[in-house]
Amino acid sequence: MLMPLDMLRSGETAEIEEVSGQAAWVGRLAELGIRQGCRVRVVQSGSPCLLDVNGCKLCLRGGECSQILVRPVS
């Protein structure tokens, strides 16, 4: 089941399925580790959203999180 990243709660982990938006935006997120197939953990949900990406913390605004579709991992 795919859902926007901003629908996850704190502590949940998910796999990135799709990142949409302008090419520069998608490319920048890929440089930061947010790309198809990677796993992220939500440290703090809401806006801004704090993510753990491969051991690094990344902060995104709510509108940015809605452009990232994920599949929750149990």
pLDDT tens digits, residue range 4-39?
A: 999 999 999 999 999 999 999 999 999 999 999 999
Q: What is the pLDDT of residue 45?
A: 92
Confidence of residue 74 (pLDDT cuts 50, 70, 90): confident
Q: Indicate the pTM of the whole model.
A: 0.89
> pLDDT-based confidence at 47, cuts 50/70/90?
confident
28 phi and psi, to 5 degrees?
Answer: -65, -40
User: How many Å apart are CA 31 and CA 15, to the nearest integer?
Assistant: 16
Domains and CATH numbers, the chain: 3-73 (2.30.30.90)
Type of residue at 18: E
